Amino acid sequence: MTRRLGSGSLVIATHNAGKLKEIGALLDPYGVKCISAGSLGLPEPAETGTTFAQNALIKARAAAEASGLAALADDSGLSVAALDGRPGVYTADWAERQWFEGAPGRDWYMAMGKVEGMLAEKGKDVDRSAAFHCVLALAWPDGEYAIYEGRSDGSLTWPPRGAMGFGYDPVFVPAGAAQTFAEIAPEQKHAISHRADAFAKLVAEQFGA
């Protein structure tokens, strides 16, 4: 049987305030107090894994070992069937600006354009199916861990549509829908997203919900 988290403090392995708020809201009903790795001054480990699960576990284990508390990390990204699953674990890397392109940071329109350009090279009848993935890794200081995987299938559209999402949301149309993730209300997206799928599995196992 998988170890239960229970109530108490949980380190969220992120330096992103928005992500902490989102995860904290999901776990608050179960008596879990979420604190970020950033607020504890914990360093961000190098994500050297080749899968979402490996990278999520690297981050969760680093936070758990450094804090002495249970820690939760996620790793997510987009896989495109016609591109052999790319960008995959390198989803964010495809958006990184190079030093000669101006200020450092991420340009998601550049990343979406890169994906579209590669699909266009394969012809107008290219398979445009894609999926968003989210893997949650829950780790304890003694080395025990649990993994929860979520997925949202759909297809890619062009040009980008909508302004409510982030990342590749403006070009991703979830299966059975006509609007992109960036065109639907956040609460609607959160009900069907890859992250929602992963969290539903975590909550079911950890809290019996």
Domain segments of the chain: what residues? 8-207
Q: C-alpha distances in angstroms, 155 versus 51, 76, 100, 190?
A: 22, 17, 32, 18
Q: Which tokens belong to 162? A: 């909508």
In the prediction, which pLDDT does 127 show?
A: 96
What per-residue confidence (pLDDT) applies to 103?
Answer: 58
Q: According to the model, what pLDDT value does residue 83 have?
A: 96
Closest CA to 126 of 138, 115, 137: 115
Name, in order, each residue with C-beta under 8 angstroms of 119's C-beta and a sequence gap of 6 or more: 80, 82, 83, 126, 128, 156
Class (C level, CATH) for 8-207: alpha beta
The token pair at 17 is: 């305030």
3-state secondary structure of 69: coil
Q: Provide the pLDDT for residue 99.
A: 45
User: pLDDT value at position 147?
Assistant: 96
DSSP 3-28: PP--SEEEEE--S-HHHHHHHHHHHG
Bridge partners (DSSP) of residue 65 are none
Residue 182, token pair as written in the block: 């960036």
Among residues 15, 34, 17, 81, the alpha carbon closest in space to that of 199 is found at: 34
Residue 95 has phi, psi (to 5 degrees) of: -100, -5
Confirm whether 74 is a catalytic residue: no
Q: What is the DSSP letter of 180?
A: -
Q: Which one from 74, 75, 142, 169 is the annotated catalytic residue? A: 75
Q: What is the pLDDT along the chain (209 residues), one digit of tens a residue?
A: 567 776 678 999 988 887 788 788 888 888 899 999 999 999 889 989 999 999 999 999 999 999 999 999 999 999 999 999 999 999 888 888 654 455 567 788 889 999 999 999 999 899 999 999 999 999 999 999 999 999 999 999 999 999 887 889 999 999 999 999 999 988 888 888 898 899 999 999 988 85
